[in-house]
Amino acid sequence: MLGTVLMTGLVAWLGWLIGFSPVLAVKSITVYGTDRQNPAAVQDLLGSELDKPLARVDLDRIRQRVQTLPAVKTADVVRTLPNTLEIRVVERVPLAAVEQGDRFALLDADGVRLAEEPKAPAELPLITASTLAEGQKPVAAVLDSLQEMPPELRRQIGRGEAETQDSVQFTLASGSTVVWGSSEESARKAEVLAALVQREASVYDVSAPRTPVTR
């Protein structure tokens, strides 16, 4: 009988310790994987989680909150005893820039605006304003096409434009034109273009990647 009482008391005490005691409450929030995203902004966003019992913290809700930050693509949240929440993020990566008045917005592969810069970053292709005026589908087609290019080829792209989602066109830093067409078969088109640009031409047409044309 005494053993049962003691066991019941121990279970109750453990339940209190884990679920309600300040001994195992959140005292620190550690953020990993940030480069563009200020980790302090993540910590400030989750400030209301401090002093909550670690076991009672809603990890899924925290993950969703962190993923509302523009620079964060995905987040993973882990409890670490005795008092820490670990936030591990994968950031969105700028893929292209678009002119917005006197500034330039940086877009990732999903078209999410990550930041604005006073000058167009030299390392990013510029999507022309005419493409933006046509709506989201042409922009998405340009971004999808850029995403499939290997970095060394993408660095040669100066501008991207498209009047429709099937009429993507690029201008190389050299001034040559790339007729890309739709974003379908972009991986194959990128492979073909990487080979073609080894030879000087004014136009590289890879819209039909099995029968490319240069002139």
Q: Judge whether 48 and 61 are in contact, CB under 8 Å.
A: no
Whole-number mean pLDDT of the chain? 89
Instruction: Report the b/e string of 125-145 with b at 16+ CB within 10 A.
Output: bbbbeebbebeeebbbbbbbb
Tell which CATH classification among 3.40.50.10960, 3.30.230.10, 3.40.50.12280, 3.40.630.40 matches the domain 96-214: 3.40.50.10960
Class of domain 2-91: alpha beta
In this predicted structure, the answer to whether residue 134 has a pLDDT above a threshold of 90 is no
Residue 100 pLDDT level (bands cut at 50, 70, 90): confident
Residue in the structure block whose two tokens are 């480069």: 35
The kind and range of the H/E element at 213 are strand 213-214
Residue 129 pLDDT level (bands cut at 50, 70, 90): low
pTM of the model: 0.79
CATH 3.10.20.310 residue ranges for the chain: 2-91
Q: What is the DSSP letter of 207?
A: S
How far is Cα 209 from Cα 192, in angstroms, rounded to an integer?
A: 7
Residue 136: per-residue pLDDT = 85
Residue 128 pLDDT level (bands cut at 50, 70, 90): confident
